[in-house]
Amino acid sequence: MNSTRGPRLVLIGKQGAGKGTQAKRIAERFHMQHLSTGQLFRDSAAAGIDAGLKAKKFMDRGDFVPDEIVIDVVEERFANPKEVEHGFVLDGFPRTETQAVELDRILGSRTLDLVLNMEVPTEIVMARLASRKREDDTEEGIRRRLELYETETKPLVDFYDCLGLLVTVNGVGEEDEIFGRMLAAIETRLTY
C-alpha cells in the first residue's frame, strides 16, 4: 500500500475484547472511517429505521443478526466511495465465513491490508462484558455470543491466516499499551 491512504483493516476478536475502543483510536490516528456493525444497528434501531429494528430483535437475544441484513448495511456504506477512500477499520464485521466472502466481493479491488486478531482469554472478556451494562449484556446473552464466537467467528482466524492477512495481537493490558501493539502490528506490516 502507499502513503496516499490509510490502511484497510479488519479487527476480529471475542465480544468484549476491546475491538470498539481500539478501532476508534486506530481510525482517529489514520483519519479514516470506523465501521462498527453493532453500533450501526444500535443507531438505526434508535432512529426507528427498519433494518435496525429487525436487527434489534436478534441482538437482544444475543444472536447474530442474519447475514443478509448485515451484508446489506455494509454494502450500502461501501457504495459511497467517499466513505472509505482514505481507508477503514471494520469492527464486528465480518463475523461469519459468508460475511467474509461477501466482504471480499463488496471490496472488489479495494483489498484488505491486514486483519488484526485481538486475543483475550474468555474469563477476562466475561468480566469486562459483565461491567459494561449494555442492554444486550445479560448473562445469557453474553454466554450465547461467546458460543457463537467459537463456532462462527473463530474459523475466520484460519481463513485470513491462509490468505496471509492475519496478525494476532495480545489484547490483555492497559488500553494505551494495547493500542501501541496494534499500531506496531500495522506499521510493521505495511510499508508507507
Question: Which residue, among 94, 116, 101, has the nearest Cα to 36 in the 3D structure?
Answer: 94
Position 33 contacts ligand ADP (CB under 6 A): no
Position 99 contacts ligand ADP (CB under 6 A): yes
Q: All 3 cell numbers of residue 143? A: 454466554
Residue from 6, 23, 25, 64 in contact with ligand ADP (CB under 6 A): 64
Residues 61 and 144: their CA atoms lie apart, in Å, by: 8
- Closer CB to ligand ADP, 44 or 186, in the complex: 44
Strands (E), the chain: 8-13, 33-36, 88-91, 114-119, 166-170
Position 70 contacts ligand ADP (CB under 6 A): yes
- Closer CB to ligand ADP, 43 or 177, in the complex: 43
Residue type, 119: E
Could you give the string, one character per residue 38-57, with x where binding to ligand ADP holds by CB under 6 A and - elsewhere? xx-x----------------
User: Residue 178 in contact with residue 18, Cβ under 8 Å?
Assistant: yes
Residues at the contact surface with ligand ADP, assessed by CB under 6 A? 15-16, 36-39, 41, 58-59, 63-65, 70, 92-93, 95, 99, 145
